[in-house]
Every structure is written in structure tokens, then in C-alpha cells.
Amino acid sequence: MLITSRARLLAFGSAVGVFGVPLLTRFAVAAQAADPADLDTLNSAIALERAGIKAYADAAHLLSPPVAALAARFVADHTAHRDALIGAVRAAGAQPTDGIAPIATPPLANEHDALAFALVVEEKAASTYLSVIPDLKNRDLAGVAASILGVETTHVSTLAAALGTRVYATGFVA
């Protein structure tokens, strides 16, 4: 039987406030039984969430106050995802990566450029989570990835609307 302690839940940091103890308890228990390949996937997701946080930090100086407030909420989501993923890797007794996924930052001259870059980053996050869900052997971990996917697609839709562009022209997330 796998045991989840308060100390292990505290490893989830900001994610406890966002996801709540019941979901994170299930996530921690699932991670403790995770296959090594699943842990590699979680570490890749940690690096991706860090890239999202960095992208918003790199563009923050170009954002107007209302857009900066929205970006701060998106950063809070990415931070909660990162913390939950780190907590899961630690719950499994493994070492979380400290890496940041490489995402090339284009020249950013104005708010439109910053939003367009954020849209690319969020689309990459959404498509990455979509692609890893079937590969996760642990279905509880796949469920958590799916819940993160939902948040990422909300970010995509919000940014696309702000830019006045149509997202997912085929009607499907790719």
C-alpha cells in the first residue's frame, strides 16, 4: 500500500491551493507507482512549464496592465502545474529536472508580438500534453495531464481571441 504523507503533499507547493488535496493525493499515489518512462514524461512536462513561465517573464515589459494581469494568471497556472509535477516526481522518489524546454523567443517589439509568442508557447504546451496522454502507462497520471491540457487550451483560446485569430482551424487540437 502506498502512503501519502503531509510532507509529500507539501512538496506540491502552490499546486495544493489550485488543485486541492484530494486530487494531489491521487496524483502523488499514482506517481509513487509510476513507470520510469512516465517519470521521464513528467520531467519533460516540468521543463515545458518552466519554459511557459520564462516566456511570460521575457515578454512582461511589453504588456499593458490589463494584459499583464491576465498573463500573471497564466503564469500562476504554469507555476501550479510545475509544482504539481515536481511534487509527483518527488513522491515517486525521483529527482525532478531543473531544465527549461528550449523555445526560441522571436524578436518582441510590442504587445501584439508578446501575445503572438505566448500563443505559440501555449499551443506547444497543449499539443505536447495531448500527445503524451496516450503514452502514460499510469491512467491517473494521464488524467492529471488531461486536466492540465484543458487549462492550456483555455490559454490558447483566450490568447487567440485577444489577437483576433482563429485557433485550431480544423476544429481539432493538433
Q: Over the stretch 52-93, which tens digit does the pLDDT of each residue have? A: 999 999 999 999 999 999 999 999 999 988 988 888 888 888
Ordered by start, the domain boundaries in the chain are 6-163
Q: Report the C-alpha gap between 11 and 90 in whole angstroms.
A: 7
pLDDT at 30: 66
pLDDT score of 4 more than 70: no
166 confidence band (pLDDT: 50, 70, 90): confident
List of residues 6+ apart from 139 with CB closer than 8 A: none
pLDDT at 1: 38
Percentage of residues of the chain with pLDDT beyond 70: 78
pLDDT at 173: 65
pLDDT score of 110 more than 90: yes
CATH of domain 6-163: 1.20.1260.10
pLDDT at 151: 92
pLDDT at 83: 87
Whose CA is closest to 45, among 90, 97, 105? 97
> pLDDT digit string (tens) for 26-47?
666 666 777 889 999 999 999 9
